[in-house]
Amino acid sequence: MHATTLFTHRTALSWLLSGALLLSLALSIQAAPRPVPAPPAVAASGYILQDFHTGKIIASSNADERLEPASLTKLMSAYIVFAELEKNNIALADEVLISETAWRTGGSRMFVEADSRVSVENLLKGMIIQSGNDATVALAEYVAGTEGAFAELMNHEAKILGMTGSNFQNSSGLPGKEHYTTATDLAILTRALISNFPGYYPLYSQKEFTYNDITQPNRNKLLWRDDTIDGVKTGHTNSAGYCLVTSALRDDMRLISVVLGTKSPNARSKESQKLLNYGYRFYETRRLYAAGESISTSKLWKGERDQIDMGVNQDIYVTIPRGQEDALSTTITIQEQIIAPIEKDSSLGIATVTFGDEVLVEQDILALDDYAEGGLIQRLKDSALLFFE
């Protein structure tokens, strides 16, 4: 026999299927999604626009094509150094002896001097803000002994992050036959860098840095043009063209754009801004549920408490076309009979968020606390009730 109950949460309908041992709560009734204007034309060899929280790809072209990263390589170099700092293997105050190899490295420079000692903190600023190849090689040698060994660390970390289209031969981004990445991989790396190292990420918004009485500006001109942009990194070689990874934060929505192989410094800024403006104009990212927040309750059998609170252990975000929240639907499917004892974070069901026919999120519904067994009388009473259920 089926029992049906009508709830009044945005015309929500729930139904109990007694033979299926599952309780499904449909938290909204969907409207059909409406079309979104096509992304703008972008004059680049490859690009991607992605939401930081959800990983939603809003626009892309040739995103998986292997291309030269130039100094965007330094994003991975920084990721390795940040990880070493977090592990306390090195410290910001450490003084690094500058080798002749680092001093002689060509391309953009911090202007460190051979046989001098420079702090890890200043070398990081020289690498990130000034894009100094000399600073980058010095850090690589300090972390791994040689730049070649450091490149092995870079490739190992790339595999861990799922950067399947990348291979690094050096730390700075100077051209190499087998030195390449993709727009997709750089977006993966940038998301991980911002997420895993929030204490160091503000370095990417610093507009200039002075070392050895030489002040150099950050080459990311968008830092001056748009105050919602707080990073990330430029790159250029003759063969790679002008490249830019950008991130912006507007109204709690963070977007990441990767533009590779444009024709000029102005073009990489213009095309990146174009992508970001498109993403913010036509899309929005919403947090539907917060980690630790009770999003469903159910009867608890044989427990000290009558009810059990359930939720998720990480925030649930969705990225959808702007103004189309009426096409969202959340279904929570949980066990029909939940019997104590229940440990915190035990999986009790699934939350599924859809947009039209597209599944956006599937996430476990968990117990938000430990729930102990009740006393003997409570357990006997509930056993009898369960028998008749």
Residues 207/227, Cβ–Cβ less than 8 Å: no
* Three-state DSSP string of the chain: CCEEEECCCCCCEEEEECCCCEEEEECCCCCCCCCCCCCCCCCCCEEEEEECCCCCEEEEECCCCCECCHHHHHHHHHHHHHHHHHCCCCCCCCEEECCHHHHHCCCCCCCCCCCCEEEHHHHHHHHHCCCCHHHHHHHHHHHHCCHHHHHHHHHHHHHHHCCCCCECCCCCCCCCCCCEECHHHHHHHHHHHHHHCCCCHHHHHCCEEEECCEEEECCCCHHHHCCCEEEEEEEEECCCEEEEEEEEEECCEEEEEEEEEECCHHHHHHHHHHHHHHHHHHEEEEEEECCCCCCEEEEEECECCCEEEEECCCCEEEEEECCCHHHEEEEEEEECCEECCECCCCEEEEEEEEECCEEEEEEEEEECCCECECCHHHHHHHHHHHHHC
Residues 131/71, Cβ–Cβ less than 8 Å: yes
Residues 366/345, Cβ–Cβ less than 8 Å: yes
| Phi, psi for residue 168 in degrees, rounded to 5 | -115, 130
Rounded Cα distance, 384 and 294, in Å: 29
Which residues are designated catalytic?
71, 74, 131
Instruction: Please enumerate in sequence order all residues whose Cβ is within 8 A of that of 27, keeping only pairs 6 or more positions apart, or say none.
Output: 9, 10, 12, 329, 330, 331, 332
